[in-house]
Structure 1
């Protein structure tokens, strides 16, 4: 007679096998790149009018509302990825600093008001993490 009931060992083994297959197929870096794009790339930067600030609008639209600090890069993803391919200076550990100044908006959440009251628009050199020639991390 076969045993009945949950088999946590089997589920754990299958879960680990699925994770290993995803990593081996290269999907991990592709997924991290998609998350990076959602969290940090907004090109072209939309024009007002917004109800509230740019940051209130974009952070809510992307499901990131309440995040303490987040920066949006206003360049196409190809330009950002090119930092990994020669348009950036290697800093070690997979990090690269852009050689050019890049337009960005930094959004800072204020708990007192429950909003992003000021949009900090700037242009500066950015530092990103690269994996398999794609941007996967932004260093605030």
Structure 2
């Protein structure tokens, strides 16, 4: 009789195998870019179901809750990735600064209220880390 129920050891083994295959493919920057885009890009801007809850809505929805500070970039992914080439100024160490001002929304966690009570929406030049002309890191 075969055992029934969840098999955490099998899931862990399959997860590790998938991670190894992704790393062995030589395309790690593509995966890092996908993570970067999930953590930092909100274009077009989302509309939360309750007015004034943008940061709570976005941070929960992306699995980033309890992160002290996170910034969402209000621009298409192509425009953000282009900062790594023609639309950015190299700063060294793989960092590039945007040539143009870009709308961003910064969310700050308040442990006393267990929420993101305020968000700061501004347009500014942003600094990102690049790898193979793809954004992989956001510098707060």
Does the 8 Å CA contact 1:53/1:119 hold for their aligned counterparts? Answer: no
Shift, 1:119, TM fit: 1.1
SS at match of 2:115: coil
C-alpha displacement of 1:47: 3.3
**Using the alignment, how far apart are the partners of 2:22 and 2:39 within structure 1?**
22
Instruction: Give the TM-score of the pair, scaled to structure 2.
Output: 0.81
Residue 53 of structure 2: aligned partner = 53
> Does residue 65 of structure 1 match 2:38?
no
Gaps of 5+ in 1: 1-14
CA distance in 2, matches of 1:52, 1:44: 17
| Residues in 1 aligned to 2:108 and 2:93: alpha-carbon distance in whole angstroms | 27
Matched pairs, number: 124
CA distance in 2, matches of 1:43, 1:111: 28
1:14-53 matches, within 5 Å, as 19=20, 22-47=22-47, 49-50=49-50, 52-53=52-53
User: In the alignment, what sits opposite 1:78?
Assistant: 78
**Structure 2 unaligned spans of 5+:** 1-15
Let me know the Cα RMSD of the aligned residues: 1.9
Deviation track 1:94-122 (CA, whole Å, cap 9, x = no partner) reads: 10000000000000000000000001101
Structure 1 equivalent of residue 135 of structure 2: 135
Hey, what's the Cα distance between the residues in 1 that align with 2:34 and 2:52? 27
List structure 1 runs of 4+ shifted beyond 4 angstroms: none
Flag the structure with larger Rg. Answer: 1
TM-score, structure 1 as length reference: 0.81
> 2:48–2:57: 8 Å Cα contact kept in structure 1?
no
In the other structure, the counterpart of 1:122 is: 122
- Distance in 2, matches of 1:35 and 1:27, equals 13
